[in-house]
């Protein structure tokens, strides 16, 4: 179990104040890491950070960051290094999938915002984090995508396209930053978070999932710990599905 120990490490998780990101933040702190909770809303980040500190005793800091803006991305990396002096694990988890009535109703603004948050910002953040890690003690970058990048539906096509680009980014950066930095991806399926509250009953039922239900955020956190830890020392360029065996989208 020592292979999964993150003591002495500093981990940053975007979209870390809720859902899957929040579960990953908690798991990292429980594994011994100090954590940065990053999200658009500073108050939500600070609340999550206080909860993590209270429950684990690790240092947790909330930093506001709109990942679709490169200035914010630069500031997040700089603030982390100023606060902790190191960066060992970076998780690109923040994402957005705006609704639209039909494909021909997708506006240029919606398309651009979707790509900014799901691909443009993660590119910048991963490049900055990885460059620092290469120049220092190495590290791990984890890109959280979606099974929709492989099994796309017309209801979320711009999002799926952007996340497919994130898969390509994962593979490319794994080569670019080797051997000191490992870069891997996680493809969640349907997970029960606050976002699913607006889903129709058919989607919430999980009947289309071979395991017969939606996943819980904590069920992805173990993989995130593995990929961040020495236990995954020979794992890079991998894109791993965590979707209950899903083969189609609702």
Residue 179 lies in a domain: yes
* Model confidence band, residue 165 (pLDDT cutoffs 50, 70, 90): very high
Provide the pLDDT for residue 249. 59
249 within some domain: no
- Residue 150 sits at φ, ψ, to 5 deg, of -105, -30
The count of structural domains within the chain is 1
- Cβ neighbors of 213 (< 8 A, separation 6 or more) are 206, 244
Residue 110 lies in a domain: yes
- Checking if the pLDDT of 250 tops 60, the result is no
Distance of CA 223 to the CA centre of its chain: 12
d(CA 113, CA 117): 6
Cβ partners under 8 Å of residue 114, min gap 6: 96, 97, 98, 158, 159, 162
- DSSP one-letter code for 204: H
201 is in which domain, residue-wise?
2-242
Classify residue 248: in a domain, yes or no.
no
pTM above 0.85, yes or no: yes
Check which CATH number belongs to the domain holding 171 and give it: 3.40.50.720
- pLDDT > 70: what percent of the chain? 96
Average pLDDT over residues 228-244: 96
Residue 190: per-residue pLDDT: 83
Give pLDDT tens digits for 91-132.
999 999 888 999 999 999 999 999 999 999 999 999 999 999
pLDDT in tens, 7-58: 999 999 999 999 999 999 999 999 999 999 999 999 999 999 999 999 999 9
Residue 183 covered by a domain? yes
Q: Is 159 a catalytic residue?
A: yes
**Domain assignment of residue 247, yes or no:** no
Is the bond into 179 cis (omega within 30 degrees of 0)? yes
- pLDDT grade for 181, boundaries at 50, 70 and 90: very high
Q: List the catalytic residue out of 28, 100, 159, 226.
A: 159
């Amino acid at each position: 179990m020592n292979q999964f120990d993150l003591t002495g490490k500093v981990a940053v998780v975007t979209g870390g104040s809720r859902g899957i990101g929040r579960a990953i933040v908690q798991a990292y702190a429980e594994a011994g890491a100090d954590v940065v909770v990053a999200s658009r809303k500073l108050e939500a980040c600070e609340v999550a950070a206080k909860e993590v500190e209270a429950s684990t005793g690790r240092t947790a800091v909330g930093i506001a960051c709109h990942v679709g803006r490169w200035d914010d991305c630069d500031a997040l990396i700089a603030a982390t290094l100023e606060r902790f002096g190191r960066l060992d694990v970076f998780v690109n988890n923040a994402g957005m999938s705006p609704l639209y009535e039909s494909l021909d109703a997708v506006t240029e603004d919606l398309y651009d915002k979707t790509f900014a948050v799901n691909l443009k910002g993660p590119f910048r953040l991963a490049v900055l984090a990885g460059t620092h890690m290469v120049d220092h003690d190495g590290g791990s970058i984890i890109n959280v995508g979606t099974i929709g990048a492989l099994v796309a539906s017309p209801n979320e096509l711009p999002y799926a396209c952007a996340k497919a680009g994130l898969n390509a980014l994962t593979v490319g950066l794994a080569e670019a930053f080797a051997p000191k930095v490992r870069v891997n991806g996680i493809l969640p399926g349907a997970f029960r978070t606050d976002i699913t509250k607006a889903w129709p009953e058919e989607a919430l039922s999980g009947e289309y999932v071979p395991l017969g239900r939606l996943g819980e955020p904590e069920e992805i956190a173990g993989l995130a710990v593995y990929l961040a830890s020495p236990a995954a020392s020979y794992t890079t360029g991998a894109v791993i599905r965590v979707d209950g065996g899903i083969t189609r989208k609702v």
